A and B are shown apart, each in its own frame.
Chain A
Amino acid sequence: DIVLTQSPTTMAASPGEKVTLTCRASSSVSYMNWYQQKPGASPKLWIYGTSKLASGVPNRFSGSGSGTSYSLIISSMETEDIATYYCQQCCSTLTFGSGTKLEIK
Chain B
Amino acid sequence: EVQLVESGGGLVQPGRSLKLSCLASGFTFSNYGMNWIRQAPGKGLEWVASISSSSSYIYYADTVKGRFTISRDNAKNTLYLQMTSLRSEDTALYYCASLNYGSSYWGQGVMVTVSS
Q: Which residues of A contact B (CB under 8 A)?
A: 1, 35, 37, 42-45, 48-49, 52, 54-55, 84, 86, 88, 90, 92-99
Contacts and interface: CB of A to CB of B under 8 A. Distances in A.
B59 interface: yes
A48 to B, nearest CB: 5
B101 A94 contact: no
Which of A43, A86, A94: most chain B CB closer than 10 A? Answer: A94
B106 to A, nearest CB: 4
B10 to A, nearest CB: 20
A49 B99 CA distance: 13
A52 B102 contact: yes
17 contacts: A43-B45, A43-B95, A43-B106, A45-B102, A45-B104, A48-B101, A54-B103, A54-B104, A88-B45, A92-B50, A92-B57, A93-B47, A94-B50, A94-B99, A96-B46, A96-B47, A97-B44
Contacts of A55: 103
A10 to B, nearest CB: 12
B40 to A, nearest CB: 12
The size bracket of the interface on B is 20 to 34
A44 B35 CA distance: 15
A95 B102 contact: no
Interface of B: 35, 37, 44-47, 50, 57, 59, 61-62, 95, 99, 101-104, 106-109
Nearest to B4: A42
B109 to A, nearest CB: 7
A44 B104 contact: yes
B61 A42 contact: no
A48 B106 contact: no
A90 B44 CA distance: 17
A42 B109 contact: yes
Nearest to B48: A94
A98 B44 contact: yes
Contacts of A96: 37, 44-47
